[in-house]
Amino acid sequence: MTKITKIEIFSLVAKFKKPFSFSGITRTSSKNIIIKINTDEGVYGIGEACPVPGMSGETSASICSVIREFIAPLLSGADPLQISVLTSKIDKAVGGNVVAKAGINIALYDLAGKLLGVPVYTLLGGKFRDYVDINGSVGLGTADEMTATAEEQMEEAGVRYIKLYCGRDDVDKDVKKLKEIIRRIGGRARVFLDVNQQWTPKAAIQAIRALEEENLLYVEQPTPKWDYAGMRQVCEAVETPIAADEAVVYTTDITNLALHRAADIITIYALKPGGVKKGYESIMLSAALGMECFIGSYLELGVGTAAGIHLSAAIPSLKYPCYMFGPLKYEFDVLKEDLEIKDGRVKVPDGPGLGIDIDEDRLRLMMVE
């Protein structure tokens, strides 16, 4: 039996090419954590935790501390193929801390795939597609700034879908700006909005109705995550599909949203629910409840993005693009070979595990004490 011998934690500062603003947050860099689970056979698994304190409440310091003090001792000497058993033990020992748990879970899936000689998507039952449509994303700014960023992303990656962040301004001002941006893009990319809970139900209905002539793909989390009644009110009042994001952390949230008819689409991450295992459980639950889903992200580097790609490949019916744009927003990634992103799609890696490996020289250059 293969045994886990050691967990290494690499705390990084990954700089964005340009500042990225949404809701009340502006990100210029990300303090990502790369996790390496070693075994007595010399095979290792790689995971990533990307802290966004405003979303999960975790920081790079808290993630490192939880892994070192609570999770690493639980995994020492364990069989890495017992992923469900290990996940259960971790959940019983540590509440919350979903991003820290996700980094470990991603590494366990990468390790299991390498030990068995199969890709992660095979561990999830197989892949439904070889390529996944992706979307770009444009943070808050002036109409000129946001249009320029959209143009750059369409040029760089050939994306045919663009997410526009909004909700900070007065609704009428926001709508006017969004219409201007969409018309400048001129049908070259399908647009959708991410409001990050900034609108009231009344404002959301007003704004979405005013924008429906622009053929929006969907609107993500227009109202507060806790307001199921408000979310349902919006869903019933507009034609544009409504996606739940911040309202979905645990799989039980999906059931509650379905019961309240508070969303049409579920946004699922590799990190937000606690890793690949729970991400896949969320995919299956969404399908069972008759709800569409897609994979979002916290703008991970290549490791976390690869985990999201494998989840995207495992969705039986994928109607919407997935947010696998993270590596393109950073000055540097940590992979030996970049993910294959072109023509608005990313290729699903076919190698064992996640199908990627890290460049340790680049990793150490990005490390902080």
Mean pLDDT of the chain: 95
Does residue 24 have a pLDDT over 80? no
368 pLDDT tier (thresholds 50, 70, 90): confident
Over residues 64-115, the pLDDT tens digits come to: 999 999 999 999 999 999 999 999 999 999 999 999 999 999 999 999 999 9
21, 165, 204, 306 from 141: Cα distances, Å = 8, 9, 20, 29
% of the chain residues with pLDDT over 70: 99
pLDDT tens sequence across 149-206? 999 999 999 999 999 999 988 999 999 999 999 999 988 999 999 999 999 999 999 9
pLDDT band at 369 (very low <50, low <70, confident <90, very high): low
Phi-psi bin for 22: left (phi > 0), alpha (psi -120 to 50), beta?
beta
What is the reported pLDDT for 50?
94
User: Who wins on pLDDT, 24 or 88?
Assistant: 88
Pair 112, 45: CB distance under 8 Å: yes
Predicted pLDDT at 103: 98
Tell me 7's DSSP state: E
Using pLDDT thresholds of 50, 70 and 90, give the confidence band for residue 55. Answer: confident
pLDDT at 6 over 70: yes
Q: Do 23 and 167 contact (CB within 8 A), yes or no? A: yes
User: What b/e sequence results for 192-217 when a residue is b if at least 16 CB atoms lie within 10 Å of its CB, and e otherwise?
Assistant: bbbbbbbbebebbbbbbebbeebebb
Q: Tell me what the mean pLDDT of segment 325-346 comes to.
A: 95
The amino acid sitting at 237 is A
Write down the residue that tokens 């993270």 correspond to: 326
Q: What is the mean pLDDT of residues 283-300?
A: 96
User: What are 9's strand-pairing partners?
Assistant: 35
**Quick one: pLDDT band at residue 21, thresholds 50, 70, 90?**
confident
State how far the Cα of 98 lies from the Cα of 57, in Å rounded to an integer.
10
- For the chain, the first-to-last Cα distance in angstroms comes to 35
Picking from 127, 154, 17, 138, the residue whose alpha carbon sits closest to that of residue 347 is: 127
Give 47's strand partners: 35
H helix count then E strand count, the chain: 15, 15
Whether the CB-CB separation of 319 and 291 falls below 8 Å is answered with: no
pTM of the model: 0.96
Would the pLDDT of 345 be above 60?
yes
Q: Which of 74, 2, 68 is nearest to 38 (CA)?
A: 2
Q: 87-111: buried (b, 16+ CB within 10 Å) or exposed (e) per residue?
A: beebeeebeebbbbbbbbbbbbbbb
* Residue whose tokens read 């919407």: 320
Contacts 24+ apart (CB under 8 A), 26-29: 26/139, 27/299
